[in-house]
Structure 1
Amino acid sequence: MTKSRGRKLTYEQRVALAQRVKSARLDKEMTQAELASAAGISRQTVSNMERGDAAPQEAPLLRLMGILGIEILDDDLSEDTHMWMGLIGGVLEATPTERRGQAGKAALDAAASELASDVSGKRKGGLWQEDVDLAAIELNNWQDEQEKEQELP
């Protein structure tokens, strides 16, 4: 789970997250080159993150976190929200890989529809309508990436 788009990760948060990359990569039995390719970044960037040479840029770091399955919890989310995210995540994990994107989009669409019925352009539950729209765009981009990966030999 990534931070909401209204806030950026701090320098300290990016450094702390980057420190988790190597162990997560090794747990998944991936090489730096494989991880870099999956994230659309250079192997050197992955190496730099793992060595702690510099605080990584947010966008590539978040892509790595997603690929490695590292959750970035937003401290502003309620326990109830975390519980629902865990439940939905469990259902998505149980869904066959080729249908996961469609199932995730359906879950997002349902939540966005509930929000939109209450929002009407107003702030609701810590989200702005733009956050919902950006989340939908991110999900669509992720689905496109997954489809491209499945097309590769």
Structure 2
Amino acid sequence: MTDTVETRLAAAGLVLPALVAPRGNFQPCTLAGDLLYLSGKGLPSRDAGTVPVPKVGGQVSVAQARAHAHDIALYQLAVVKQALGDLERIAQVVKVFGMVNAVPDFTEHTEVVNGFSDLWVQLLGERGRHARSAIGVGSLPMGFAVEIEAVVRFR
């Protein structure tokens, strides 16, 4: 068996989620030359039927927010797969920008966004290492705990 992103996903017991249409007048991603720009993505709470997640560092723990970032990483990989047809076309993850909907005195933004970064490095190896920013924000759409966008160079 060849060592690919798809085989690493399967070995980790992970499945790329189904994509949903954006809730606005924008695309999930845009191709420009050999770069794929991924729109910011947040996800509602894992608990079906609950209201969107409240503030990280308040009602949402770092571990819970990190799990959201992990789920966003899977979703964004699904966007890449749809756009490129094959995850092996990823040459390098260039930049990741993570926003954490946090209480004002929260300082663990990097730990939250590591949920995204760690998974992409696990699945993509050195191609997954990237420049990154992780910031706190006062709010995010739909009360998301985390929203993450990325830039990927492809072959």
Q: TM-score range by the shorter chain?
A: under 0.3
Higher relative strand content: 2
TM norm structure 2: 0.25
* Larger Cα-atom Rg: 1
TM norm structure 1: 0.26
